[in-house]
Amino acid sequence: MIPKAHKAQLKQMGLPSDTDTIRRARMFMMESGTTSGEFAEMARVNPNSLRVFLSGSYDAHKPCDTNTLVMRASIKEAIDLHEAKNRGRRDNTHYTTAEFEELRASMIDALEDGSAIAIEGGVGIGKSWALQKVTDEINQRKLGRAIYVYCLRGITPQSFLISCCIQAKIPSRGTILQLLQKLSYFFEEEHPLLVLDEAQNLPDVTLETLRSLFDLRGYGIVLAASYDLLSHLREYKMQMWSSRIGRTHLLAGATKEEAARMLVGELGPMDKRDIDDTLADVTLEAIREGVKYKYIALRNLFWAIKAARKAVAAAEQREEAIA
């Protein structure tokens, strides 16, 4: 039995209803791949009690004076905690670049026009972060509905569509035709944009399934890859896809001036030689269609910034210890 004082406190929290809490818990478990047992451990509730609650039969198994307040509060606390952690991954300072602004404009055009664009850029160039940033902006500003999906190597058409449904927060069970219908039905009134990261991993049969979303459902499509995507789309057997690509971006990465601004913005004023040395350390070489090119890897740049902060903190601690 819940103590009266604790029950009053829980009531003042304005907890969501049983129905809303069940819906949110099921969606969280679907998106995270968490089993009911794992989720019960996260929420610190009895696994059997959780299963009964999610079935909508909790009141039939518990006395009325225990009700669902503790269960709803525990579920809300667990999900809020993990969603806050995930949001924090993208809440870092945003340093825009000319290339990012071009990419953003193309993605919004693809959303509004229902067109397809292709993007290719080296590993660590900042592609994934930019895709997720624009996806978040589209959804937060309600410009349409953007769905970001990371493509696993060799993913089958059905598994691919299941991933799309999960990321779109809609039911994800059924045949390929049923999943396609869901991705059409639930976004009938919205501009949908499907943002596919590491699209070089998609087999041809999955690309053909994706094309049906583009042709029949009016989705805007962003195909983003680290390598080999554009050359593959130009192959004769892929003409049905290449004819649908309205715009192509070959990412060159941040300029030295843009990267230097990021360094100074994060670490404060720096000697030019230190800036040049850091940028040289984070410059990588890749091959695009047989031609070598160099680019600044923003992932490595921010790793270098993190290492520099640790070094400064360690030096300060040594000085304090000596003093």
The predicted structure's pLDDT at residue 65 = 44
The predicted structure's pLDDT at residue 322 = 81
Specify the length of the chain in residues.
323
Spans of the chain, pLDDT less than 70: 1-14, 59-66, 84-93, 323
The identity of residue 99, as a single letter, is E
Asked if residue 176 lies in contact with residue 128, where contact means CB atoms within 8 angstroms, the answer is no
For residue 235, being part of any structural domain is answered with yes
Residues 133 and 269 in one domain: no
Residues 102 and 238 in one domain: yes
Query: Above pLDDT 90, what percent of the chain?
Result: 45
CA distance 201 to 105: 25
Asked if residue 127 lies in contact with residue 119, where contact means CB atoms within 8 angstroms, the answer is yes
DSSP H or E stretch at residue 193: strand 192-197
CA distance 171 to 190: 17
Of 250, 269, 291, the residue that ends a domain is: 250
Whichever domain contains 125, its CATH number is 3.40.50.300
CA distance 85 to 181: 33
- Domain containing 23 equals 4-88
∠ CA 9-36-160, rounded to 5°: 120
Q: How far is CA 247 from CA 47, 103, 130, 175, 242, in A?
A: 51, 10, 17, 32, 10
Of 88, 108, 130, the residue that ends a domain is: 88
CA distance 156 to 209: 10
Residues 225 and 115 in one domain: yes
The token pair that represents 68 in the structure block: 């669902």
Residues 154 and 192 in one domain: yes
Of 69, 88, 107, the residue that ends a domain is: 88
The predicted structure's pLDDT at residue 72 = 85
Domains of the chain: total: 3
CA distance 212 to 241: 11
CB atoms within 10 A of CB 143: 16
For residue 234, being part of any structural domain is answered with yes
